[in-house]
Amino acid sequence: MKILHFHDSPHIQGGATQYLNQVLAALSAAGHQNHLFSIGPCIENSNLTQHHSFEYQWAKSPLQRRKDFLGIHQPLADKLNAAIAEVAPDLIHIHNCTTFRKTVFSTILYMEQKSVMTVHDFSLNWSASPQRKKGGLRALLANLANRPQHSKAKGIVLDSVDMFLCPTKAIMDGLDLPVSKSFLHRLPILPDTQTELPSDKLRMFFAGTLFRSKGVDVLLDALSMLEPSIEFELEIAGSGDQLGALQQQVVDCGLSAKVRFLGQLSAAEMSGAYQRANLQVLPSRVPENSPLTVLEAGIRGRASIASHAGGVPELISESRGWTFTPESSPDLANKINEIANDRGILAVKGKNMQKWVHIECDPPKHWAQLQSHYKQLIS
């Protein structure tokens, strides 16, 4: 089978890119041929037959950029059209498309291609992100002005995509996707070496991009509110535009001896960081769909505490971890105090989470289901 994958930013390391790399490896091993179309620079991947890319020339005018992103950007449409004609794929698998949505999906519809989309986040709904409610009157007026275009783009997505693969039920419901062509498809999580939970103190871990949306500042505020007797450490992996501000916040909160910034980690280093922790924290401001950090910690027997939004409550039941009110440092602090004063519960909930991930996120089952969906689509 010949598959043309679409991902707007495979050069940016995130959950969608990590999943794309897993998909390419699994399909290549099964004898399928992978092609990739992306916006931005090409990537090196031995599991790709060919990589087509489009470099957007940033318009100086904000009005022109809005027109390019929300309307039909003809240079991109022509490049994607040519790539589809050259590759002649059996189907197109869309992984992430946050900009140029109308252009990309209109082209797929025009070329009459069978397509499947793995839905990684809630961005398909223009109003799904709480960040759109911030930024004052100017931002509000801009969002209202863009609303008809977002609505039209979503309509084109629903018309052009033949099958939606959803890591959580929450995203099916939250995006109001057509029931007849939407399927629950949990993300695959590879097993790792199991080690005992550290028991000397509360050892927390955060991994992700250091953007405001991830809420690391909320976590640091919460840590400054903990009972003085609580012994803890926090390791933070990742990079982003909030790094400097967060480092200063650590100093201002008097947490320098307890918080370490690790930067970008390799896969092996990430595994080591998970193993050093006994609690994984995800304090996101925005609704997360199926956060990999929760699942990756879970496969290692580590429970998580995360913002109660999006697909998180579906992953983290009361028996498998903890949730807290988004953006509420006091609520997060109260929960961490409770955990620290009864650390034995970490092992219990960690084992429960591990069992759930083993069953729900089994890689062989995932790849068998994916190929079955492909065959169903082109038959």
What are 298-348's pLDDT values in tens digits?
A: 999 999 999 999 999 999 999 999 999 999 999 999 999 999 999 999 999
Residue whose C-alpha is closest to residue 333's, from 257, 231, 219, 254: 219
pLDDT tops 60 at residue 149? no
| pLDDT computed for residue 133 by the predictor | 44
Looking at domain 2-188+362-378, which CATH architecture does it have? 3-Layer(aba) Sandwich (3.40)
Name the least confident of 94-103, 251-260, 343-352: 94-103
Read off the tokens for 255: 């947490």
Name the least confident of 18-27, 40-49, 285-294: 40-49
| pLDDT computed for residue 124 by the predictor | 80
pLDDT tops 80 at residue 187? yes
Amino acid identity, position 136: G
* Helix axes of 136-160 and 62-70: crossing angle, nearest 10 degrees: 30
Residue whose C-alpha is closest to residue 97's, from 62, 54, 135, 133: 54
Looking at the whole model, is its pTM more than 0.85? yes
pLDDT tops 90 at residue 114? yes
What confidence category does residue 65 fall into, taking pLDDT thresholds of 50, 70 and 90?
A: confident
| pLDDT computed for residue 113 by the predictor | 94
| pLDDT computed for residue 151 by the predictor | 59
| pLDDT computed for residue 150 by the predictor | 53
Averaged pLDDT for residues 273-294: 96
Q: What whole-number distance in Å separates Cα of residue 248 and Cα of residue 251? A: 5
Asked if 104 contacts 6 with a C-beta cutoff of 8 angstroms, the reply is yes
What confidence category does residue 41 fall into, taking pLDDT thresholds of 50, 70 and 90?
A: confident
Q: What whole-number distance in Å separates Cα of residue 157 and Cα of residue 124? A: 9
What confidence category does residue 122 fall into, taking pLDDT thresholds of 50, 70 and 90?
A: confident
Read off the tokens for 163: 């099958």
Looking at domain 202-360, which CATH architecture does it have? 3-Layer(aba) Sandwich (3.40)
The answer to whether 2-188+362-378 and 202-360 have equal CATH topology is yes
Return mean pLDDT, the chain: 91
| pLDDT computed for residue 43 by the predictor | 86
Sign, CA dihedral 76-78-81-86, equals negative
| pLDDT computed for residue 153 by the predictor | 67
Q: Report, in angstroms and rounded to the nearest whole number, the Rg of the chain calculated over CA atoms.
A: 21
| pLDDT computed for residue 152 by the predictor | 62
pLDDT tops 60 at residue 293? yes
Where along the chain do its domains lie? Answer: 2-188+362-378, 202-360
Residue 33 backbone dihedrals phi, psi, to 5 degrees: -105, 125
Averaged pLDDT for residues 149-156: 67
Averaged pLDDT for residues 118-124: 88
Residue 165 backbone dihedrals phi, psi, to 5 degrees: -105, 120
Averaged pLDDT for residues 280-293: 95
Q: What whole-number distance in Å separates Cα of residue 152 and Cα of residue 171? A: 20
Asked if 309 contacts 325 with a C-beta cutoff of 8 angstroms, the reply is no
Averaged pLDDT for residues 287-308: 96
Q: What whole-number distance in Å separates Cα of residue 125 and Cα of residue 155? A: 11
| pLDDT computed for residue 13 by the predictor | 76
